[in-house]
Amino acid sequence: MDIFIEQVIKRKRNAKSIAIIVLVLSLLILIPVFCFMLAFIITPYFMYIGLFIFMIGIYLAWYFITGQRVEYEYSVTSGTLDVSKIISKRKRKRVTKIEISDIDLFCKMSDKRITEKNYQKQFMAASDPNDKENTYCVVYHSPAYGRTILTFTPNEKIREGMKPYLKKEIMLEMFYNRGPRNGSY
């Protein structure tokens, strides 16, 4: 039986994206103003340069500010979890692709087992990484990176779509509230 379940979530703005927006808008104003001031001191041609920089700056500011709108798409297709990053609805990049049967641990981000281990690669595809109750982590072995962790915010449909493909121990723990047998993974 083939299934296809898809979810798109928006990433909440963090301090880094707000700082980028403030910096871009500040540069959009300050560089042309500086050129206009140089026009009175050195030569009037700096006024044209300032106007030219301002015109190009409007486009660059729009590009960088809209580039801060990020969405993540999770899709479950017949035993595969595919996570993609969509930047401002103009660029799509695959974050990772996981065979669900290869998952070693699937739990909430608040679980203590997540912080006990070291990971060679971490993928962050959550709407809000600080929301530990609605954010889940998947630990798996990637051939390219080694021990890898994916942090994401799946809804109930995505989790239910993953259920038939998960290992028995993980499925019992996630969906039937039966704890891990030996406390490790």
* Mean pLDDT, range 25-49, rounded to an integer: 89
The whole model's pTM is what?
A: 0.80
The residue ranges of every structural domain in the chain are: 15-66
Tally the C-alpha atoms within 13 A of residue 167's C-alpha that lie toward its C-beta. Answer: 14
pLDDT tier at 178, thresholds 50, 70, 90: low
Average pLDDT, the chain: 88
Nearest to 12 by CA among 80, 68, 82: 68
- What does each C-alpha distance from 55 to 23, 44, 45, 58, 62 come to in angstroms? 17, 18, 16, 5, 11
pLDDT band at 115 (very low <50, low <70, confident <90, very high): confident
Whether the per-residue pLDDT at 177 is higher than 80: the answer is: no
Report in angstroms the alpha-carbon separations of 90 from 34, 82, 116, 126, 155: 33, 19, 38, 20, 24
pLDDT at 16: 86
Maximum separation of any 2 CA atoms in the chain, in Å: 78
| Higher pLDDT pick, 132 / 181 | 132
Instruction: Read off the pLDDT band of 184 (50, 70, 90).
Output: low
SS3 for 60? helix
Within 42-86, residue ranges assigned H as helices are: 45-66
